[in-house]
Amino acid sequence: MDNYQTQLTPEAPVKEPGKKRSAWLGLLIDSIETILLALVLFLGINAISSRVIVENISMKPTLQPGELLLVNKLAFKLGSPDHGDIVVFHYQGNPNEDYIKRLIGLPGDVVHISEGVVYINDFALNEPYIAAPPTYEGTWTVPDGKYFVLGDNRNNSSDSHQWGFVSMEDMVGEAIFIYWPLDRIQSLNIPDLVQAAQ
């Protein structure tokens, strides 16, 4: 008896030359879209925030050298600075250099420092965040459009008590968050920290 095989040998699929090209084209388009989306997100995030590194000891113990902060660049475009805000600004002696300090006096405020206590409009500030009471004294009246800033490390800080006021035009934004190192992650937006005269 003869053996017959009934299975048919499958024919090799015919490759369509356009399919390989369209797969590569689709991958290229997806890659370009992903890169453009990442670029738009990057530019958008940079337009409303910036990241800064703390480089000196003038804000100790609140901020330590090496910490990375998130700064809200829209804070003073959409709102007004307030007593106690931690602000980043261009230093008047060198506009390419940014400083970070605590905002103490608003336009029109009278800042008085005496016997280790800071007063705003004759109201003593409650300042549990400073390294030590200031050993210097003085009185400053804050002009319109200007701000009086001090470092939390009062006796080791170059700030308004030495070189004067900060202009609104020089304000970069408000530091709102420590995001590095991980064990120091915290918000810097502490309400009612400075009990100043309103």
Annotation says 146 is catalytic: no
193 within some domain? no
Predicted pLDDT of residue 46:
58
**Could you tell me where the beta strands, DSSP code E, fall in the chain?**
49-53, 68-72, 86-91, 94-105, 110-114, 117-120, 123-124, 138-141, 146-150, 166-167, 171-180, 186-187
Predicted pLDDT of residue 42:
61
182 within some domain? yes
Predicted pLDDT of residue 94:
80
Annotation says 20 is catalytic: no
CA distance 86 to 93: 20
CA distance 100 to 102: 7
Which is the catalytic residue, given 58, 60, 157, 160? 58
Establish how many alpha carbons lie within 13 A of residue 17's alpha carbon, considering only the half-sphere containing its beta carbon.
0
145 within some domain? yes
The 10 Å Cβ neighbour count of residue 24 is 10
CA distance 58 to 70: 18
Predicted pLDDT of residue 198:
44
The H-assigned helical ranges of the chain are 17-48, 75-78, 160-163
Which is the catalytic residue, given 60, 101, 157, 160? 101
107 within some domain? yes
Predicted pLDDT of residue 13:
57
Total domains in the chain come to 1
CA distance 64 to 58: 9
CA 184 to chain centre: 15
141 within some domain? yes
134 within some domain? yes
> What stretches in the chain show pLDDT beneath 50?
193, 196-198
129 within some domain? yes
CA distance 115 to 139: 12
Q: What is the CATH number of the domain that holds 87?
A: 2.10.109.10
CB within 8 Å of 198: residues ≥ 6 apart: none
Predicted pLDDT of residue 196:
43
Asked if residue 170 lies in contact with residue 89, where contact means CB atoms within 8 angstroms, the answer is: yes
Predicted pLDDT of residue 197:
42
Q: Containing domain of residue 107, as a range?
A: 50-187
CA distance 180 to 185: 6
Bin 37: left if φ > 0, else alpha if -120 < ψ < 50, else beta: alpha
142 within some domain? yes
Alpha-carbon torsion, ordered 157, 161, 167, 170, to 10 deg: -10
Residue 8: C-alpha distances to residues 4, 165, 185 (Å): 11, 91, 69
